[in-house]
């Protein structure tokens, strides 16, 4: 104790010199490691553990000024210092400015990236030298402890401004006052001058690791116009609330327990929905966990949306292989409560629907990045006494009778026609050739008549493929989903439309609102088969001058081929009306699948490929061919049109790819210009080509030998 007292006395008498030396060392390090020019007008002790600073400035090298403050005073707690932990006990600040500037591709916070690279390199070197892995639980615990330790017990901030300049866009937050007194937090924040006044209030107890704060605005919602200008995202909320209840470590895991809530959240973004989406009340009791190599949300957490409660589970394992686990479960829910809890504006066709019974939802997803093809996925609603009492804005049963169908492209009405006997081109299902019915089912959704709207295997294959390619290259739309999208929904590619599509399919299939036969009949009679060609009756007459009942196996396979890209149909033919050679592989593939299922006789001549002829009146619309085209059977060819099918791989891309009846934008990449086909020297050669070249080479060699002998 005596030695400690002597040491403390010496340190006290030398504290000004120690402070100066420490600051100089920190300034040099900031300059050396991060390119920061730090200047301090004055720094001195004003108490046993309180230091006052004036005229502090931080300016990155060759960048705009990042931070300056006129006057600040910081006090630290003595006892934590004894164990090497810095805990702020008090903070006063007057007239400060933090300014983040982005000009084109450079910002004045570039040094953070440099520091991350430096830290990453150092961490890698340390790991390689010590063969130890970073424990994420320890990192998280230290980070949270340090952040909480920097929240003072007493705080008084006057005029601290945070300014963001993003090229021509600007955003300003001026904290006129922010105080913590006896754990009570109050603040007044002006956003963009007098545009809005925000308040952050609540209680903060850093020593007990607890906090409960709310953010709201005077007389208007919380909103940042910058988000709409920068990202086309209009985001508003009346109140945001966050609570931290507990922080603890146990069994090698670091855990945090808290709550987040929002009231009257409004979202408007073209990727979410066409109009504004309103969420009156949403909250989450979250129990977060961090382990040595994983992070996640525990299943004891609860999501609240209106009257609906759900239990999520999320776990992300980082090493040695990335593993993703996601689950969501509910107890049996009153079905009407579920429908009433849907955010307003999200599912327009379901608004006002009255239902009875209960519904239980379960979803489970597991993906190991080292084995993506073994992905596990399940999603299902379990009904109990569920039934529809009254349809909402859309009566899904209306299509059981003749109806008028409207076709829109880019929000413009391009065609309107009757789906029913009043339309002379309408063809009942039993009057359509079995060849066509079976070919389309084989290519699009062979299990259509046996599944309940969804193909789980297709979903799993789609997930695995998209994960491996790192982009959305394959979907999993069934004919049921394509039918619902075209019959009841707009064609806008939004998140809400896709979820609404899934919900409507479930309702129609599980409540048997529309029979499978009627659904398929409508599908064949209103999808697009060519430019402004809708329905199989119109298509068969337009291309082949015959009725759907008389379509051959070859004509049927060709029509199944053009379903994903109908506007390019004429480009699939030569000027003499025959089908282009590169499609022959598709004919053989679909034909063999149909033959293996007893839907057509086995055929060694490409299942009608050579017999297909475009009607003579259309042939003049096809541009002449200027080169020899290659048969690409079983030979994927990236130079062919993207929607073309070159063997098995391309067939499965179609089966699990984008929505089948989505109108496409024709681009030069989808079809060679002027109807020209791919040159033989610009694509990989098939085995047949190589054999022909070898035979030709041998023939030339024999001729040369014969000529030599003659001479």
The pTM for the full model equals 0.78
* Residue 513 pLDDT class (50, 70, 90 cuts): very high
Strands of 369-410, DSSP E: 376-390, 403-409
Find the range with the poorest average confidence among 90-104, 226-240, 253-267, 631-645: 631-645
Three-state helix/strand/coil letters over 473-541 = CCCCCCHHHHHHHHHHCCCCCCHHHHHHHHHHHHHHHHCCCCCHHHHHHHHHHHCEEECCEECHHHHHH
Which DSSP letter does residue 163 get? E
Rg, the chain, Cα only: 34
Q: For 480-509, write each residue's pLDDT tens digit.
A: 999 999 899 876 778 888 899 999 999 999
Q: For 132-184, write each residue's pLDDT tens digit.
A: 568 899 999 888 888 888 888 899 999 999 999 988 888 999 999 999 998 99
- Written as six digits, the tokens of 114 are 């440099």
Predicted local distance difference test score (pLDDT) of residue 86: 66
pLDDT at 699 over 80: no
The answer to whether the CB of 296 falls within 8 A of the CB of 287 is no
Predicted local distance difference test score (pLDDT) of residue 461: 86
Q: For 232-278, write each residue's pLDDT tens digit.
A: 899 999 999 999 999 999 888 999 999 999 999 999 998 888 889 99
Which DSSP letter does residue 640 get? S
Predicted local distance difference test score (pLDDT) of residue 7: 57
The answer to whether the CB of 162 falls within 8 A of the CB of 172 is yes
Closest CA to 429 of 543, 508, 536: 536
Q: What is the mean pLDDT of residues 425-452?
A: 94
Scanning 102-202, the segments in alpha helix (DSSP H) are: 110-130, 136-149
pLDDT at 60 over 70: yes
pLDDT at 127 over 50: no
Q: Give the Å distances, CA to CA, from 17 to 9, 34, 53, 57.
A: 14, 25, 15, 21
Predicted local distance difference test score (pLDDT) of residue 408: 86
Q: 411 CB contacts (<8 Å, ≥6 apart)? A: none
The yes or no reply on domain 422-618 and CATH 1.10.3810.10 is: yes
pLDDT at 677 over 60: no
Bridge partners (DSSP) of residue 175 are 160, 189
Say how far apart CA 549 and CA 436 lie, in whole Å: 9
Say how far apart CA 528 and CA 612 lie, in whole Å: 20
Burial status of residue 292 (CB atoms within 10 A of its CB: 0-12, 13-18, 19 or more) = middle
* Residue 281 pLDDT class (50, 70, 90 cuts): very high
Say how far apart CA 537 and CA 638 lie, in whole Å: 34
Nearest-5° angle of CA 192, CA 196, CA 201? 115
Say how far apart CA 98 and CA 331 lie, in whole Å: 48
The answer to whether the CB of 271 falls within 8 A of the CB of 494 is yes
Sign for the pseudo-dihedral over CA of 260, 261, 265, 270:
positive
Predicted local distance difference test score (pLDDT) of residue 218: 93
Cα 190 → chain centroid: 34
Q: What is the mean pLDDT of residues 100-109?
A: 88
For residue 495, the tally of other CB atoms under 10 A from its CB is 13
Residue 338's φ and ψ, nearest 5 degrees, are -65, -50
Sign for the pseudo-dihedral over CA of 213, 112, 76, 55:
negative
Closest CA to 373 of 456, 463, 455: 463
Predicted local distance difference test score (pLDDT) of residue 455: 83
| Residues in the chain, total | 711
Scanning the structure block, which residue is given the tokens 């600007």?
170
Quick one: what percent of the chain has pLDDT higher than 70?
81
Whole-number mean pLDDT of the chain? Answer: 83
Q: For 301-324, write each residue's pLDDT tens digit.
A: 999 999 999 999 999 999 999 999
* CATH 1.10.3810.10 segments of the chain: 422-618
Q: For 515-549, write each residue's pLDDT tens digit.
A: 999 999 999 999 999 989 999 999 999 999 999 99
Which DSSP letter does residue 189 get? E
Predicted local distance difference test score (pLDDT) of residue 621: 78
Q: What is the mean pLDDT of residues 327-332?
A: 96
DSSP states of 570-601: GGGB-TTSPBPGGGHHHHHHHHHHHHHTTSS-
Strands 67-76 and 88-103: antiparallel
The answer to whether the CB of 630 falls within 8 A of the CB of 686 is yes
Burial status of residue 425 (CB atoms within 10 A of its CB: 0-12, 13-18, 19 or more) = buried
Q: What is the mean pLDDT of residues 197-215?
A: 92
3-state SS class at 311: strand
- Written as six digits, the tokens of 122 are 């150092």
Find the range with the poorest average confidence among 150-154, 195-199, 373-377, 652-656: 652-656
Is the backbone peptide bond immediately before 577 cis, with ω within 30 degrees of 0? Answer: no
For residue 48, the tally of other CB atoms under 10 A from its CB is 10
Closest CA to 378 of 367, 392, 365: 365
């Amino acid at each position: 104790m005596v030695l400690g007292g002597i040491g403390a006395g010496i340190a006290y008498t030398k504290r000004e010199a120690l402070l100066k030396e420490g600051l100089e060392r920190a300034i040099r390090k900031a300059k050396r490691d991060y390119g920061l020019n730090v200047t301090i007008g004055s720094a001195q002790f004003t108490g046993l553990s309180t230091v006052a600073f004036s005229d502090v400035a931080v300016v990155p090298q060759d960048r705009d000024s990042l931070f300056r403050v006129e006057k600040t005073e910081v006090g630290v707690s003595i006892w934590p210092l004894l164990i090497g932990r810095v805990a702020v006990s008090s903070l006063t600040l007057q007239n400060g400015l933090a300014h983040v500037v982005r000009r084109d591709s450079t910002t004045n916070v570039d040094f953070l990236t440099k520091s991350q690279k430096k830290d990453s390199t150092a961490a890698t070197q340390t790991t390689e030298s010590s063969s130890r892995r970073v424990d994420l639980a320890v990192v998280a615990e230290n980070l949270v402890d340090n952040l909480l330790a920097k929240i003072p017990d007493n705080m008084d901030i006057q005029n601290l401004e945070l300014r963001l300049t993003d090229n021509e866009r600007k955003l300003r937050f001026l904290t006129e006052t922010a105080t913590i007194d006896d754990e009570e937090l109050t603040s007044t924040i002006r956003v963009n001058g007098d545009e809005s006044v925000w308040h952050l209030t609540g209680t903060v107890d850093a020593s007990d690791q607890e906090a409960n704060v709310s953010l709201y605005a005077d007389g208007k919602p919380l909103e940042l116009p910058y988000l709409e200008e920068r990202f086309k995202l209009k985001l508003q909320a009346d109140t945001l609330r966050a609570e931290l209840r507990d922080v603890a470590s146990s069994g090698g895991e670091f855990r945090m327990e808290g709550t987040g809530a929002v009231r009257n959240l409004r979202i408007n973004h073209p990727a979410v929905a066409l109009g504004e989406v309103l969420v009156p009340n949403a909250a989450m009791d979250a129990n977060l966990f961090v382990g040595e190599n994983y992070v996640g949300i525990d299943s004891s957490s609860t999501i609240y949306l209106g009257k609906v409660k759900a239990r999520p589970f999320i776990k992300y394992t980082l090493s040695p292989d990335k593993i993703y686990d996601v689950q969501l479960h509910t107890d049996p829910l009153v079905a009407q409560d579920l429908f009433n809890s849907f955010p307003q504006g999200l599912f327009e066709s379901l608004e006002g629907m009255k239902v009875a019974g209960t519904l239980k939802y379960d979803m489970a997803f597991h993906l190991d990045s080292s084995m993506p093809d073994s992905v596990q996925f399940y999603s299902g609603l379990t009904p109990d006494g569920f039934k529809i009492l009254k349809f909402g804005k859309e009566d899904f049963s209306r299509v059981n009778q003749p109806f008028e169908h409207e076709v829109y492209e880019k929000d413009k009405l391009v065609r309107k026609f009757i789906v029913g006997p009043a339309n002379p081109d309408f063809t009942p299902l039993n009057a359509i050739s079995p060849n066509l019915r079976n070919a389309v089912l084989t290519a699009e959704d062979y299990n259509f008549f046996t599944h309940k709207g969804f193909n789980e295997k297709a979903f799993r294959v789609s997930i695995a493929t998209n994960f491996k390619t790192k982009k959305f290259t394959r979907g999993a739309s069934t004919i049921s989903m394509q039918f619902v999208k075209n019959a009841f929904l707009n064609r806008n590619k939004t998140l809400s439309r896709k979820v609404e599509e899934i919900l409507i399919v479930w309702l129609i299939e599980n409540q048997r609102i529309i029979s499978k036969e009627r659904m398929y009949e409508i599908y064949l009679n209103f999808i697009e088969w060519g430019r402004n060609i809708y329905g199989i009756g119109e298509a068969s007459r337009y291309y082949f001058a015959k009725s759907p009942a008389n379509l051959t196996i070859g004509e049927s396979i060709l029509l199944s081929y053009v379903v994903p890209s109908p506007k390019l149909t004429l480009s699939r033919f030569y000027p003499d009306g025959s089908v282009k050679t590169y499609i022959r592989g598709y004919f053989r593939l679909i034909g063999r699948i149909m033959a293996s299922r007893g839907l057509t006789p086995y055929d060694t001549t490409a299942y009608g490929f050579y017999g297909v002829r475009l009607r003579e009146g259309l042939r003049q619309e096809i541009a002449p061919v200027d080169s020899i085209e290659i048969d690409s059977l079983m030979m994927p060819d990236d130079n062919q049109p993207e929607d073309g099918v070159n063997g098995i791989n391309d067939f499965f891309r179609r089966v699990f790819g984008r929505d089948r009846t989505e109108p496409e934008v024709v681009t030069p990449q989808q079809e060679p210009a002027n109807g020209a086909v791919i040159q033989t020297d610009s694509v990989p050669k098939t085995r047949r080509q190589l054999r022909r070249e070898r035979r030709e080479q041998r023939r030339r060699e024999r001729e040369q030998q014969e000529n030599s002998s003659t001479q």
